[in-house]
Chain A
Amino acid sequence: MSDLHRAPEVAVERVGETAYLAPLPDGPITVLEGAALVVWDAVSGGGVAEIVDRVAESTGEDAPVVRDDVEAFLRTLKAAGLVREG
């Protein structure tokens, strides 16, 4: 995967430690909490390696420990249309 960024049509509402994401104008609404939210927050441009590093920094884990899970979840976000490449 090349650079990843949040899809521009996705609206976000945050309530406490939960984020609600919805591509407008058709939805659906997706709910992110916990580690999923940490990954979402780390998607702010840059490639997968940079996002893995950000997640590692946020969680206090080593990058190799979280890499596989982060990469898998990024693929899930991409398949849901919430994150885009390019």
Chain B
Amino acid sequence: MPSAPRSAQVPLAVRLHFGRAAVQTIADGLGVDLLHIKGDTVDPMLRPGRPAGSDVDVLVRPAHVAVLDSALRRHGWIVYSTFRGGSPFGHAQTYRHDVWGYLDLHRFFPGIEVDPAAAFSRLWRDRGRRDFAGVECAVPGVPAQAVILAVNSARAGAWARADVGGMWTDAGPRLRAAIDREVRALDARLAFDAAFGRIERHRGERGYHLWKAVSGHGGRFEEWWGRLRASRGIHGAIGIIVLAPQVNTEALSHRLGRAPTPGEVVGEFFRRPLRGILETVRRKDPR
């Protein structure tokens, strides 16, 4: 006799496919434009042996973010970290779903400097298609995927940058030329060069300090200083100055594995600036 349907261990790859299909289904119902990025969406020619990732990443048309955010919450996606609390760029919000796992909703992609709405429109215009669990999903074109992989690797550590170096080496001349055109069109040269260890070519540019910090050549103090230097206009700068001294309680919660107590928040408030200063001093005096 057939056993009754049961819950069992589900392979991560299967769960990711379902997660993408679930988000796409919600988006389709609302007319929301989104592109599936990174992980298992990346074209095989760019990711020989690259792992499929552990979460779902999507880039959403900026004008559609609020609508999708509301719908995701209605369908059981719980905000895990917010745009403001998640990273120094404020680019992504992370959700967790009891069935599908984690989702990173990107409203823009760090390193792509053209206006987020214009960048999305360009990526959307050249989109391709992938099928996940029988649901058709849009993905960026292959050259744009390569740009996203590269600028993402600039923030992801030395191992990821080595991986992207291999991708570039393996790409033929036509693909390299197409990637280079995409870098230019998306104004992603600084982050792209940071991924390949060429950040010093951009010394003096607006984003230089931030990308130097996030690509592993700076510390917390330089990250905040870089954010300040890279911010567009006085409004962004004020936002960062206000945010900088605040304790990022989401990051603290995730580090502790529970909600921090008021005392821990206060303690973190005083420790964070100290940590930034200590990192700066240690680099200047490496003893």
Give A residues with C-beta under 8 Å from B.
Answer: 9, 11-13, 15, 20-22, 24-32, 34-36, 38-39, 69-70, 72-73, 76-77, 80, 82
Contact = CB atoms under 8 A, between A and B. Distances in A.
A15 B148 CA distance: 30
B1 A29 contact: no
A28 B101 CA distance: 12
Given A20-B14, A26-B99, A27-B99, A11 B5 contact: no
A29 B11 contact: no
Contact of A34 (B2, B14, B99, B100): B2
Interface string B9-48: 0110011011001110110000000000000000000000
A32 B133 contact: no
Contact of B23 (A21, A25, A36): A25
Nearest to B3: A36
A70 B2 CA distance: 8
Interface of B: 1-8, 10-11, 14-15, 17-18, 21-23, 25-26, 75-76, 98-100, 133-135
Main secondary structure of the interface of B (DSSP, over half): loop
Nearest to A40: B2
Contact of A31 (B8, B25, B75): B8
B133 A82 contact: no
Contacts of A39: 2
Given A24-B133, A30-B6, 7 more contacts: A22-B22, A24-B21, A25-B75, A26-B76, A31-B5, A32-B5, A34-B2
A70 B15 CA distance: 28
A11 B15 contact: no
B22 A80 contact: no
B22 A27 contact: yes
A30 B100 CA distance: 13
Given A11-B135, A24-B22, A31 B2 contact: no
A24 B100 CA distance: 11
B6 A31 contact: yes
B2 A69 contact: yes
B18 A26 contact: no
Given A11-B134, A29-B7, A31-B10, A22 B1 contact: no
